[in-house]
Amino acid sequence: MGHASNSSEEAKAKGSVGKGLARVDGAAKVRGTARYVDDLKFPGMHHGLTKRSEVPHGILRGIHKREGFDWSQVVVVTAEDIPGRNTILLIEEDQPALVAIGAHVRHVDEAIALIAAPTRALAREAHGFLDLEIEEIPAVFDCEEALSAEVNVYGDDNILKTYLIEKGDADIEEKLASCDHVVEGLYRTQAQEQMYIEPQGMIASWGEDGVCHIIGSMQCPFYIQKAMRALLALDDDNLVVEQAVTGGGFGGKEEYPSMIAGHAALLARKAGVPVKLIYERDEDIAATTKRHPSVVRHRLGFDADGTIRAIDVDVIFDGGAYLTLTQVVLSRGVLHAAGPYKCENTRVRGRAVATNTPPHGAFRGFGAPQTTFAYERQTQKAAALLGMSPFEFREHNMLRDGDRTATSQLLEGSVGSEDVLRAVKEVAEANPLPKDDPATSIRHGRGVAFYFHGAGFTGSGEARLAGRATVALAEDGHFEVRSSSTDIGQGVQTMFTQIAATGLGVEPDAVRVPTPATDRVPDSGPTVASRTCMVVGRVVGQASVALKNRIESWASENGFGDMPLRQAATAMAKVEGEISETVQYAPPPGIVWDDETYTGSAYPCYGWAACVIDVRVDTDTYEVAIDRCVHAVDVGKAINPVVVKGQIEGGTLQSLGWALWEDVIYKNGKVANDRMTNCIVPTFSDAPEMHTIIVEEPFANGPYGAKGVGEIPMDGPCAAAAGAVEHALSTLVSSEGFDALPVSPEAIQRAMRLDS
């Protein structure tokens, strides 16, 4: 008897919050039994293919089925076949699902027609016989050129969105002029491909009851639900969107899946059979969203003692041809642009500009990595100018508990700024850089970065979303967590299992977290913005505790007071039917945000992070190798340290990849490097051994103190890597050589040549 209860207690302890419970979806993934969308087959299923524009800007004059192919074998869908509104609805209705005849084509690889056939090969053959007639008009590809509006892509001026943040009474020019020093820099960052290893894909089918069922690779089932309501003219009763096991997202499966879902649904509707639409890798790279390229001008004014007095930032993001999520990405970009530093006088201006390139969209960090790169390059230069250590300058200016951010938000609690910087500083100081041997081509350098990232939706976003989650006793006696949060690899199912198991006081295998379908789960909001643990996790925890309390009080009222919870719950369900608790998110009190002036509490709280990157630069080949990577992140509370470490390390390498190797090359608006062989990401051999330090400054309104971790590791390592290369070559090259990403061998060579 004692043994049984001990092992149950042990199981509970292993699965409780703060423990590294093995991923609940791990066994299926290592056995290869997890089913991703391309692994699914439906009877009679056809294969879909998308016919895309080859010109960047034009007017669609015709879609022609050429002779020589038996068109009766396939189904072709054009804009005329759309039953609802021809748009992929998200924020605005500017982006069509398929370009209609007579309408504008605004980027290369824009979808124009769809084909479904019993086999992929036949669809491919039909694709070759379908001709597009497009009257080409002048196009613009550079976001600064697009500002002149000589070529019109969006509205009258190509401006997708502007923001202004102002803090302090003084005129920013006067304030800068009064500083002892002003460092001015111009920073450019490139587009970045998410490169999830599972390409995008969807399967759609229509039941005889008129219900459209969509299953696929996605982050946000309810985004698709909303877009499909408009496109297919369906109400929620006739629409089910279900997530299949999803092979990575990183933001890339936030908004674009609505496009693919719509296309698959239109094909399935016309073909009368289920249609699978899976992107090939080249198509995925060429057509889907990437990180916004940016141009950031940054002026940092400070006094001789190192105190920052004035910050002026001008941010331009290239939005591509349609709005998609650009205004939200720009918002986050400007909200982070002044950095985690105290400053009384700040101005941040942001503009997003439309160009004739495929729309840029969500990617981990969501605008913050671009502006973080700029301000951390500036910090590095300021410290060097004053002869201060990079740690000292940052310590001197960092935001601490009780300080106010650029939007005048008062920081109250959960500010791990000092802890994260101290943690990486200690490791760095214990491991000095090796000395350079002038007889060799190798030069060593060290870079530091310090940054913050707002967790959750901006401002009043979470209040508007009002995300909900349910914990219920399922028929088979498991407790089931129902939310629309998707596990895309980041460990949602495991984390929710631990939060629910801890809240209910049961062992983790008594809890199940199924992949969401919109007819079975409440809308918890999208799986984005480092909000899943902090916001949805919180309501999962609250629902678990509420359910436990309800079961316990029922049990004690009915004489089952000594019964274990699960048994009591089963007994209760026999009497009361399904028992469940649903909780809606209530933002912490005191969150005041003014969307007009961009002042107030931009985020419920912030994550804080610092990293140190040591590099080796070979001055013969200009190659950079990373020798050390120390990263400390304040996550509030690690619900599962193994999962949290995985998030930090994965984000770190994406940031280092963006800094040193990754690039998207456009030629006439088309992605020229649309294969994994030339659109490269780091391999095992490029990645450094990582030293990851989890710092926990609990957030009072997060579950067990947890706040966001998904994005922050992406923000800073890029700046530290560029700084490390600059440091390694400091006697050879001036610092402007490292103000544009990627700091590729070619860029390093150019910088060394210009300075020699």
Partner 1 sequence: MSEFLSPKDLPAALAARAAHPDYIPVAGGTDYMVASKDRLPPPGIINLFGLGALTGVTDLDGGGVRIGACTTYATLLGDARIANTFPLLRDACREVGASQIQARGTLGGNIATSSPVGDSLPPLLALDAVICVASSAGERRVAYEDFLVGYRKIDLAADELIVAIELPAPHVGAMQHWRKVGTRRAQSISKVMMAAVAHLDDGRIADIRIALGAVADRTVRARATEDALRGSAPSEEAAKRAREALRGEITPIDDLRSTAEYRLGVAENLVRRFVLSL
Partner 2 sequence: MNIEVTINGESRSIETEGHRRLLDVLREELGLVGTKEGCGEGECGACTVLMDGEPVNSCLVPVGQIQGTQLTTIEGMAGSDGLHIIQDTLVRYGGAQCGICTPGVALCAKWAVEKEPGASKERLRELLAGNICRCTGYQAIVDAVVAAQNSSESSHE
Strand partners, 245: 36
Task: List the x/- string, 686-715, binding to partner 1 by CB under 8 A.
Answer: x-----------------------------
Question: What phi, psi does 65 have (nearest 5°)?
Answer: -90, 110
514 near partner 2, rule: CB under 8 A: no
Q: How far is the C-alpha of 275 from the C-alpha of 160, rounded, in Å?
A: 35
User: Is the CA virtual torsion 92, 95, 96, 98 positive or negative?
Assistant: negative
621 near partner 1, rule: CB under 8 A: yes
Q: Which does 31 bind (CB under 5 to 8 A by kind): partner 2, partner 1, none?
A: partner 2
Site for partner 2 in 678-737 (CB under 8 A): 681, 683-685, 687, 689-690, 692
Nearer to partner 1, 419 or 623 (CB): 623
7 near partner 1, rule: CB under 8 A: no
Pairing outcome for strands 111-117 and 46-52:
antiparallel
Given 20, 641, 682, 698, the residue binding partner 1 (CB under 8 A): 682
Q: Which residues are CB-neighbours of 37 under 8 A, at least 6 positions away?
A: 201, 202, 203, 215, 216, 217, 244, 276, 278
Nearer to partner 2, 24 or 695 (CB): 24
Tokens of 65: 């089925």
Nearer to partner 2, 56 or 252 (CB): 252
Task: List the x/- string, 162-191, binding to partner 2 by CB under 8 A.
Answer: ------------------------------
Nearer to partner 1, 11 or 442 (CB): 442
Q: Which does 26 bind (CB under 5 to 8 A by kind): partner 1, partner 2, none?
A: partner 2
The three-state (H, E, C) secondary structure of 303-353, written as one string: CCCCCEEEEEEEEEEEEECCCCCHHHHHHHHHHCCCCCECCCEEEEEEEEE
524 near partner 2, rule: CB under 8 A: no
Tokens of 148: 């002149």
CB of 30: closest distance to partner 2 in angstroms?
A: 4
256 near partner 1, rule: CB under 8 A: no
Short-list 654, 603, 108, 640, CA closest to 399? 603
754 near partner 1, rule: CB under 8 A: no
685 near partner 1, rule: CB under 8 A: yes
Nearer to partner 1, 427 or 625 (CB): 625
Q: How many CB atoms lie within 10 A of CB 7?
A: 11
Give the number of C-alpha atoms closer than 13 A to the C-alpha of residue 628, restricted to the C-beta side.
21
Site for partner 1 in 60-79 (CB under 8 A): none
Residue in the block written with tokens 């780091």:
682
- Yes or no: say if 55 and 108 are a contact pair by the CB < 8 Å rule: yes
Nearer to partner 2, 58 or 657 (CB): 657
**What separation in angstroms does the CA of 445 have from each of 275, 384, 430, 432, 714?**
53, 14, 16, 10, 21
Nearer to partner 2, 177 or 197 (CB): 197
Pairing outcome for strands 593-594 and 599-600:
antiparallel
Q: Which residues are CB-neighbours of 537 under 8 A, at least 6 positions away?
A: 495, 496, 499, 639, 702, 703, 706
Short-list 491, 473, 587, CA closest to 482? 473
- Yes or no: say if 733 and 726 are a contact pair by the CB < 8 Å rule: yes
Task: List the x/- string, 459-488, binding to partner 2 by CB under 8 A.
Answer: -----------------------------x
441 near partner 1, rule: CB under 8 A: yes
Given 235, 304, 430, 684, the residue binding partner 1 (CB under 8 A): 684
8 near partner 1, rule: CB under 8 A: no
69 near partner 2, rule: CB under 8 A: no
Task: List the x/- string, 187-216, binding to partner 2 by CB under 8 A.
Answer: -------xxxxxx-----------------
Q: 3-state class of 677 per DSSP?
A: coil
Q: How far is the C-alpha of 234 from the C-alpha of 732, rounded, in Å?
A: 64
Q: How far is the C-alpha of 622 from the C-alpha of 620, rounded, in Å?
A: 6
Nearer to partner 1, 45 or 374 (CB): 45
Q: Amino acid letter at 668?
A: N
Site for partner 2 in 231-270 (CB under 8 A): 245-250
436 near partner 1, rule: CB under 8 A: no
CB of 35: closest distance to partner 2 in angstroms?
A: 7
Task: List the x/- string, 606-645, binding to partner 2 by CB under 8 A.
Answer: ------------------------------------xx-x
18 near partner 2, rule: CB under 8 A: no
Site for partner 2 in 643-672 (CB under 8 A): 643, 645-646, 649-654
DSSP letters, 116-142, are: EESSHHHHHHHHHHEEEEEEE------
- Yes or no: say if 536 and 524 are a contact pair by the CB < 8 Å rule: yes
Q: Amino acid letter at 227?
A: A
Nearer to partner 2, 22 or 754 (CB): 22
CB of 756: closest distance to partner 1 in angstroms?
A: 11
39 near partner 1, rule: CB under 8 A: no
Q: Which residues are CB-neighbours of 445 under 8 A, at least 6 positions away?
A: 433, 614, 615, 617, 723, 724, 725, 726, 727, 728, 729, 730
Nearer to partner 2, 564 or 641 (CB): 641
Q: How far is the C-alpha of 618 from the C-alpha of 100, rounded, in Å?
A: 53
Q: 3-state class of 79 per DSSP?
A: helix
Task: List the x/- string, 93-132, binding to partner 1 by CB under 8 A.
Answer: ---------------------------xx--x--------
Segment interacting with partner 1 (CB under 8 A) among 94-102, 386-394, 472-480, 681-689:
681-689
CB of 284: closest distance to partner 2 in angstroms?
A: 10
Q: Amino acid letter at 72?
A: S
- Yes or no: say if 153 and 355 are a contact pair by the CB < 8 Å rule: yes
- Yes or no: say if 57 and 151 are a contact pair by the CB < 8 Å rule: yes
Interface with partner 2 (CB under 8 A): 20, 22-23, 25-36, 38-39, 194-199, 245-250, 280-281, 488-491, 642-643, 645-646, 649-654, 675-677, 681, 683-685, 687, 689-690, 692
Interface with partner 1 (CB under 8 A): 120-121, 124, 280, 282, 441, 619-623, 625, 661, 665, 672-673, 675, 677-678, 680, 682-686, 745-746, 749-750, 753
